[in-house]
Amino acid sequence: LQQRRGIRLSAPAAIQVTVRDALNQALDEELERDERVFLLGEEVAQYDGAYKISRGLWKKYGDKRVIDTPISEMGFAGIAVGAAMAGLRPVCEFMTFNFSMQAIDQVINSAAKTCYMSAGSIAVPIVFRGPNGASAGVAAQHSQCFAAWYGHCPGLKVVSPWSSEDAKGLLKASIRDDNPVVMLENELLYGVPFEMSEQAQSKDFLVPIGKAKIEKEGTHVTLVSHSRPVGHCLEAAAVLAKEGVECEVINLRTIRPMDIETVEASVVKTNHLVTVEGGWPQFGVGAEICARIMEGPAFNYLDAPAVRVTGADVPMPYAKILEDNCIPQVKDIIFAVKKTLNI
């Protein structure tokens, strides 16, 4: 009515939301929307989650929808897969994806392969989620990135959010998907606030699985990354812009299926490619991107070999100075860009 009278209404502005709160919102909205959705894992209920992702959900939805489990990943992952086969939509939280190795038979053999082996008659709509990759000071057995592991396996979808909008939209899309989805979050991002647009604040907001996002337009070099290193790429791009180098930064968002078309289009424009990831170099996400570019039409547009920036090819050390040198830093990305541009 006010708009009809010519009174201008200001649209709700974007707000700052942490990745933790974005994930919490997504879980809350999907639990409310669909009674088949439930959350299970270690400490997710009465303790509000080891990282407080599920804060307040147990009090709101009760024991049947938010379930504390024993410390047995193979056991509760198997329960979740069976529940998905029976028609529910479980969200299975691993306290860290390093512990998912205890349940990898359930994730791969039970969840990923069942739809194919049943000729499409049995869907497994399940989300496996939790922190992935290096945190801070947790050493080798708690610092592995599983993007390449799970991205290797047909039957799974694998998503890897960076921002709060990524986290909320991808989690909601994953819960609604009829395929098993592995959602690789990052512990060091949970407390980081990002701007969330008015659109992303809607209960209907989804980020499509399998579609990358160009975070920054550029003309000289393409930087492709996922999860926390996307932020490092943007920082490196800001530094390089002062030197006249315009980087195009692509946030993959999804590891499988990979949006190679967006990467190809960018390489055709910039003629240079640098991939950045926290995982190990051999058989990594960057290696896959480089192979796809080499095999596809964008290869003929490259003016220099593609360069990978990865984690060091060693188990993660505990000592902070060694840890810092094992994880890609902004300076490493700047060095790689200058190397590929020969400057």
DSSP 280-317: -STT-HHHHHHHHHHHSGGGGG-SS--EEE---SSPPP
> What average pLDDT score do residues 140-153 get?
95
Q: Is the pLDDT of residue 6 over 60?
A: no
Predicted local confidence at residue 302, as pLDDT: 97
Rounded mean pLDDT of the chain? 95
pLDDT in tens, 101-112: 999 999 999 999
> What average pLDDT score do residues 281-303 get?
97
Nearest C-alpha neighbor of 200 from the set 227, 166, 171: 166
pTM: 0.93
73 is catalytic: yes
Contact 59, 31 (CB under 8 A): no
pLDDT band at 128 (very low <50, low <70, confident <90, very high): very high
What distance lies between CA 189 and its chain's CA centroid? Answer: 11
pLDDT band at 14 (very low <50, low <70, confident <90, very high): confident
Predicted local confidence at residue 13, as pLDDT: 78
Q: Is the pLDDT of residue 7 over 60?
A: no
pLDDT band at 4 (very low <50, low <70, confident <90, very high): very low
Please identify which of the residues 30, 42, 73, 187 carries the catalytic annotation: 73
Q: What percent of the chain has pLDDT over 90?
A: 96
Q: Is the pLDDT of residue 176 over 50?
A: yes
Please identify which of the residues 93, 142, 220, 232 carries the catalytic annotation: 142
Give me the count of residues in the chain: 343
> What letter would DSSP give residue 8?
P
| Window from 3-17, 226-240, 286-300, 307-321 with minimum mean pLDDT | 3-17
Cα distances (Å, whole numbers) of residue 102 to 44, 170, 270: 18, 25, 43
CATH numbers and ranges of domains, the chain: 15-201 (3.40.50.970), 213-341 (3.40.50.920)
What span, in angstroms and rounded, lies between the C-alpha atoms of 330 and 327? 10
Predicted local confidence at residue 166, as pLDDT: 97
29 is catalytic: no
Q: What percent of the chain has pLDDT over 70?
A: 97
Contact 27, 39 (CB under 8 A): yes
Q: Is the pLDDT of residue 1 over 90?
A: no
> What average pLDDT score do residues 168-194 get?
97
Q: Is the pLDDT of residue 2 over 90?
A: no
Nearest C-alpha neighbor of 227 from the set 164, 162, 158, 149: 162
Cα distances (Å, whole numbers) of residue 234 to 86, 185, 330: 44, 19, 9
